[in-house]
Structure 1
Amino acid sequence: MSELPIRYPLILNPKAKGEKGRRALKFIMANATRFTIYATGSREEAIDLARQFAREGEDLVIAAGGDGTLNAVIEGLAGSKTALGVFPTGTMNVFAREMGIPYDKLEDAMKVIDGGHSEEVDLFAMNGAPFVQMAGVGFDAQVIEETTWESKKRLGPFAYLLAASKVLRAKPPQLTVICSDGRELEGVAILVGNGSLYGGQFPLFKNASNTDSLLDVVVFKEAGYQ
């Protein structure tokens, strides 16, 4: 008698619409015997579910969504021995790209999980919230806040450009970074990278590695504001 395949808890962002969302849902439902599916209504619910699975000693939890869903599941799993599986169904899927996880076909992402391909990466926190890819304050954070789910559904990655143009018309934030050697750097946005990629496929943090226990810092000046 053949051994039954492992059934994984899968935390799903049901807001993932459009053609990509439909293809993802079709794949998940076609392979429903491989998953116990939990559709979340909020970030907090995703965090709580992931935390619950970690307490119950699950070996692996799959996050199906974009980088926001992924970050919520990571927050719930932080500090546990439960591994994270990634089904990239979002707009940018930056972390999946960083890790070389296929983001075009979930069939291929599933092969990564079934093949037991795992890697331990650094986990940092900003204001108490853990992150594995990057964090930022200033202009970048404002763009993320201005980018609505409706615009991402309609425009895809261009939704961020639309939000950026809106933010650029406003008065820029003024930020100061105080370095350990006493230097002060001023700018309108500060980004810290654990991995190399930003905004999808752009290697903004060229020397970054998510296994070296270090963060790379980029400070943007006034350029681009009117």
Structure 2
Amino acid sequence: MTLSKRRLVIIHNPTSGMRNKNRFSKALLYLADTDCEVEILKTKGPGHATDMTRELVARNDPDIVLVAAGGDGTVSEILNGLEGGELPLGVIPLGTANVLARELGVGASIDRAIEILIAAVPVPVYSAKANEKRFLLMAGAGYDSLTVAALRPGEKKRFGAIAYMFAAFRAASGFRDMELEVTVNGKRHTAASAVIAKARYYGGPFVIASEGGIEKPRFDVVLLKNAGFVAAFRYGMALLFNRLSRLSDVQTLITDEEILINSSRIFPCQCDGDICLETPLRISLDPAPIMILRAPGNQSTAHTAGPETHTAR
């Protein structure tokens, strides 16, 4: 049976603005012109996408292609319901950053998303666990987690990506006193902030791990050494222009081993853009891949994980 004949079960997060409602309607119109059978399940609140995914996994139906229609938060919930199942996953990007969609060669394009849903072949990718929380894109503690923790309810829906700038200014007082102990490949490192990247992209179109990718069973551990608002601004501008790895106080470590993050005080941590954990954090690869629909030829060059270290000069 060809993919275009399979049944697409779309888990849709309807709590978005009018723009994304229009984008979802556009996606459904495109799908109506294909041979796909479409079933739509709407989430009713936090955690509902995880519960619905577990129910779909329990059906054990080989013809189902699961589709996340929402942002990276919706994908994260679905990911945490996929454990033990073999459902292939696709995306319709309706979020703010859409990091996974960019990783898959979809970007923000509804046209491209539908092309991939009806024509792409599932490929294996590797997720990870932070304590008991699964993630596919990144986990972080420091600048990003304090910023995400400072987001106000409904702010992202109202202002989009600009909401993170407002949140960063509110969180700025906490930037002065940050110190993490990050253990990678058995060696302890001290940093103000750490991003444990599974994906190449971060926060949207910005590249944080140029040689990384979700198809690789490894982590790119990005350590930002200095604390403070000035350092945060400098790191942010470097990320904006894809020059973060060139800074002398940024270190990138590559590993496929377990990573530990500790701090002298309890520190909030983010996984795939949501605050859901706190230090101490234990991060490990999930050895069993999940299947995902991505654009042909969009994979990064294959690389075997190992205890390599790259320090910006």
Question: What's the TM-score once normalised by structure 1's chain length?
Answer: 0.88
Report deviation, 1:76: 0.7
Which structure dedicates a bigger proportion of its chain to helix?
A: 1
Deviations 1:77-134 (A, max 9, x none): 12311111111100000011011024222x3311101113322111111111111111
- The equivalent residue for 2:302 is none
Give the aligned partner of residue 151 of structure 2.
147
Moved over 6 A (4+): none
Aligned to 2:170: 166
Amino acid at match of 2:57: A
Out of 101, 120, 124, the residue aligned to residue 120 of structure 1 is: 124
- Which structure: greater strand fraction? 2
- RMSD over aligned CA atoms reads 2.2
Letter in 2 for 1:54: V
Partner SS for 2:74? helix
Correspondences of 1:105-116 after superposition (within 5 Å): 105=110, 107-116=111-120
Match of 2:255 in 1: none
Larger displacement relative to structure 2 (48-57 or 133-142): 133-142
Aligned to 1:8: 8
- The aligned residue for residue 46 of structure 1 is 49
Unaligned runs of 5+ in 1: none
Q: Which amino acid aligns with 2:23?
A: A
Gaps of 5+ in 2: 231-313
The alignment status of 1:103 with 2:102, answered yes or no, reads no
- Residues 196 and 204 in structure 1, CA contact (< 8 A), matched pair in contact too: yes
What secondary structure does 1:77 align onto?
A: coil
Judge conservation of contact 1:18–1:153 (CA < 8 Å) in 2: no
Deviation readout 1:45-72 (Å, 9 max, x if unpaired): 1101011101102431111000000110
Using the TM superposition, give the Cα deviation of residue 29 of structure 1 relative to its aligned residue in structure 2, in angstroms: 5.1
Question: Which protein, 1 or 2, shows the higher relative CO under an 8 Å CA cutoff with sep ≥ 6?
Answer: 2
For the residues of structure 1 that align with 2:58 and 2:81, how far apart are their CA atoms? 10
Which residue is equivalent to 2:258? none
User: Match of 1:166, SS?
Assistant: helix
Contact residue 67 and residue 95 of structure 1 kept, 8 A:
yes
Structure 1 residues 179 and 28: alpha-carbon distance in aligned structure 2, compared to 1, 3 A threshold = closer
1:65 matched to 2:70? The reply is: yes
> Who is 2:137 aligned against?
133
3-state secondary structure, aligned to 1:22? helix
SS at match of 1:200: coil
Which residue pairs with 1:22 in the alignment? 21
Identity over aligned pairs, percent? 28
CA distance in 2, matches of 1:24, 1:148: 25
Q: SS state of the match for residue 108, structure 1? A: helix
TM-score (norm 2): 0.65
